[in-house]
Amino acid sequence: MSASNKIVIVVTGEPPEGIAARLGDYPAMFERALGNAWTDGFDIVDARCESLREGAALIVTGSSSSVHEREDWVLRAEGELRHFVDRAVPILGVCFGHQLLAQALGGEVKPHPRGREMSTVTVERLEEDPLLEGLEPRFVANACHRDTVLELPPNARVLGRNEHDPHQVLRFAPRAYGVQFHPEWDGEMMRAIVEARTEILEAEGIDAGALRARALDTPSGPRILQNFVKHYVRSS
């Protein structure tokens, strides 16, 4: 596991077919959302086929895979993430990445008993924390998940919740966080995801048109990413 001075974006999946060509892949979305908050470069690691590398920080992306299916690459990535948490490397897990960190550190990830959460949702901030600096007590975020962190790992602290999911924002360790939503997605990306999954949504009895109409830009997303860099990467 060689070290880098760049932020390592750990890829665990990609957008539905056709979206990346129009809106960029997940690394491009994170780079765009971070903007000038980070100018020292990025390394890209695909966790599905290569070992993780230490960097100035790790950001673990979303995925259509499920942590609870326990694929070999998931088990390997969990062990590597535990190593980096022990070394106090700053880590931010997003959606699947949030779940991967939770499972790696002793929690349990399962299909959500209330089903899918999708489109722009409201999250309640439960306490002050550097990651959530400047956010309103209730802020909006773009979400898309069927699984959830059902049981917290030891010492995890809940920083944000909503009616659908009580574990929207978690602090796993002093420099390790997870968010169940997608801070890198803007309204256009959220609408594109809904459109790409319309058939699946309708099969589940979900009104895709209503989800698409609800999708918004969420300034809280880039703010969370920029706070992560400001408080945990720049200060490392």
Terminal-residue alpha carbon distance, the chain: 19
Bridge pairing between strands 57-60 and 138-145: unpaired
**What are the pLDDT digits (tens) for 192-215?**
999 999 999 999 999 999 999 999
Per-residue confidence (pLDDT) for residue 19, from 0 to 100: 95
pLDDT score at 78: 98
pTM: 0.96
pLDDT of residue 4: 77
Catalytic site includes residue 108 = no
Single out the catalytic residue among 95, 145, 164, 167. 95
Is 95 among the catalytic positions?
yes
Q: How confident is residue 235, by pLDDT bands cut at 50, 70 and 90? A: low
- At 17, the pLDDT band (50, 70, 90 cuts) reads confident
Domain topology for 7-233:
Rossmann fold (3.40.50)
Give me the mean pLDDT over the 15-30 stretch: 94
119-134 pLDDT per residue, tens: 999 999 999 999 999 9
- The whole-number average pLDDT for the span 186-196 is 97
pLDDT band at 234 (very low <50, low <70, confident <90, very high): confident
Task: Write the DSSP assignment of the chain as a string of letters.
Answer: --B-SSEEEEE---PSTTHHHHH--HHHHHHHHHGGG--S-EEEEETTTS---B-SEEEE---SS-GGG--HHHHHHHHHHHHHHHTT--EEEETHHHHHHHHHTT-EEEE-TT--EEEEEEEEE-S--GGGTT--SEEEEEEEESEEEEEPPTT-EEEEE-SS-TTSEEEEETTEEEESS-TT--HHHHHHHHHHTHHHHHHTT--HHHHHHH----THHHHHHHHHIIIIITT-
Measured distance CA(171)–CA(85) in Å, rounded? 12
Give 47's pLDDT tier (boundaries 50, 70, 90).
Answer: very high
Whole-angstrom Cα distance, residue 29 to residue 72?
27
Angular region, 95: left φ>0, alpha ψ -120 to 50, beta rest: left
pLDDT for the residue numbered 236? 55
Give residue 3's pLDDT.
Answer: 66
Active-site residue (options: 98, 145, 167, 182): 182
Q: Annotated catalytic residue: which of 78, 80, 117, 184?
A: 184
Asked if the model's pLDDT at residue 1 lies above 60, the reply is no
The answer to whether the CB of 113 falls within 8 A of the CB of 165 is: no
- Dist. CA 114–CA 82, nearest whole Å: 29
Active-site residue flag, 184: yes
- Residue 96: pLDDT above 80? yes
